[in-house]
Structure 1
């Protein structure tokens, strides 16, 4: 048996994830907005694209701290504190890489 045949036999039962299958089904429907993998139904606004390129050109291409970017956390702390009229310290803010991480953290906390 060649390596090619061995690899093919090992993966013959693999299939797309259920979330990808649901996304493919939603594409054929006109009255559905798929939120399955975090893809919005609009293109990224040009201002965000421009800022992203500016950040990359300025060397912002590395991982941040696990809790999140300190400057963003501070601005969120100020904004949230003003919004709810109560102190929201940076230590009370948790940044996640996506909604699933946030939902998982929330459900595990509850």
Structure 2
């Protein structure tokens, strides 16, 4: 595995993760979103490469939020229902600390 290369955002991200909430990392492919997210989290799921992750997202998406916090959810846009689940966890103050990485932003909805 390659050695992590420090990024400008690291200090700000580390400070932000001291509090419950969620952070969204966006950018073009291969810019370091996933490496940065993994570097700052205790657990995570990669929806694009982990066998069964997308099937779990369809059957019981809340299970994707289970794990040590902060929790990293990579390529979250492949299971857009994750967005509202993370938002709800943060609203409920459930030791919610997440990093979501992807290349899309959810459409605004009436909720």
Q: Same fold (TM over 0.5)?
A: no
Q: Higher strand fraction: Structure 1 or Structure 2? A: 2
Q: Higher helix fraction: Structure 1 or Structure 2? A: 1
Larger Rg: 1
For Structure 1 versus Structure 2, the TM-score category normalised by the shorter chain is: under 0.3
TM-score, with structure 2 as normaliser:
0.23
Greater RCO, 1 or 2 (C-alpha within 8 Å, sep 6+): 2
